Structure 1
Amino acid sequence: MKRLYILLLSLLIISCSNDDDSTNNSLVDLQGEWNLVNIIGGFEGIDQDFERGTIIWDFNETDGTITVTNNSTITDVYNGLPSGTYDYSVMDSGGSDELIVNDINLGTFTVTSINLTIIPQFRDGFEIRFDR
């Protein structure tokens, strides 16, 4: 009977899986195109949505650059970086990754296979959300 309990306990432990949906940033890369879909925050508390394809950040992990294509015609609210190519790096800050673009810390970020969210360091900054 004792062997049966040990066998059942072993099967229970083996059959358990990790259902955690969170993703370690080091396991999912930034490589490729990301469509900016929303910017929220700032002094004025904006919440601006953008159509896919209007603003694209294309990360190239090989040379550490982002090519930004910004075709937004919205001028009265912050719409991210202007079109151009920027150097970037990722800095580990005590367990969370921070995105540095042209030596400016944009904040911590979370990334999954389909979403990228950059969260500002300061309360009056802009949270920037991207989709693949």
Structure 2
Amino acid sequence: MKKKKVLFIGLFSLLVFTSCSINDSPNPDPRIRVPHWHLIKTTGGIAGVDHEFPLETVIWTFDDANSKLMVVNKNTDDTKQDAFDAGTYPFSIKKVDDKTFLIINEDEFGEFEIDDKKRLIINQNNLSEGTGADGFVYTFHRTIEIITP
């Protein structure tokens, strides 16, 4: 009986020690979250336009690691101001005081901010060198694509 008890304790100890881990933290989430910005509204300009777009019509995706902006543009209405044709554009960010400006194709595109509703707003009337009155204001809605590796 004593041999069975020792054998049981030895097997139990082996099982406990081999199943323990030094790292007790949960596994990090391996999923990748990619934000896409859908143009939903363009206002302003000399003519005072007010254009709305359904989701999936014009989508901007920023690749921060490579400083590239990918634009998907399915807008077929040439009367609506949608900023860029489909393609990939170099971008950078310029900070002046407490304002942030978007540079696309080495040209300052406008001041941008993400508001409390998590919308991206780019205002071409606000530039790092001053303000204007005939630029456009682009409003984007964010969606998140989740990629599982």
What TM-score, normalized to structure 2? 0.65
Partners of 1:77 and 1:52 in 2: how far apart?
15
Percent identity (aligned): 29
Partners of 1:96 and 1:34 in 2: how far apart?
20
Partners of 1:62 and 1:32 in 2: how far apart?
14
Cα contact 1:109–1:116 (8 A) shared by 2: yes
1:57 paired residue number: 60
TM superposition shift of 1:32: 2.6
Cα contact 1:37–1:131 (8 A) shared by 2: yes
2:86 paired residue number: 83
Which blocks of at least 5 consecutive residues in structure 1 are unaligned?
Answer: 1-30
2:30 paired residue number: none
What is the alpha-carbon root mean square deviation over aligned residues? Answer: 1.3
Deviations 1:2-59 (A, max 9, x none): xxxxxxxxxxxxxxxxxxxxxxxxxxxxx63100000001010000000011000011
Partner of 2:65: helix, strand, or coil? coil
2:146 paired residue number: none
Partners of 1:98 and 1:106 in 2: how far apart?
7
Partners of 1:107 and 1:52 in 2: how far apart?
22
1:127 paired residue number: 137
Cα contact 1:32–1:60 (8 A) shared by 2: no
Superposition map of 1:1-132 within 5 A: 32-112=35-115, 114-120=118-124, 121=126, 122-132=132-142
Partners of 1:52 and 1:87 in 2: how far apart?
24
Equivalenced residue count is 102
Which blocks of at least 5 consecutive residues in structure 2 are unaligned?
Answer: 1-33, 127-131, 143-149
Cα contact 1:68–1:81 (8 A) shared by 2: yes
For 2:135, the aligned partner's letter is G
Which consecutive segments of 4 or more residues in structure 1 shift more than 2 A?
none
Partners of 1:36 and 1:107 in 2: how far apart?
15
Partner of 1:62: helix, strand, or coil? helix
What TM-score, normalized to structure 1? 0.73
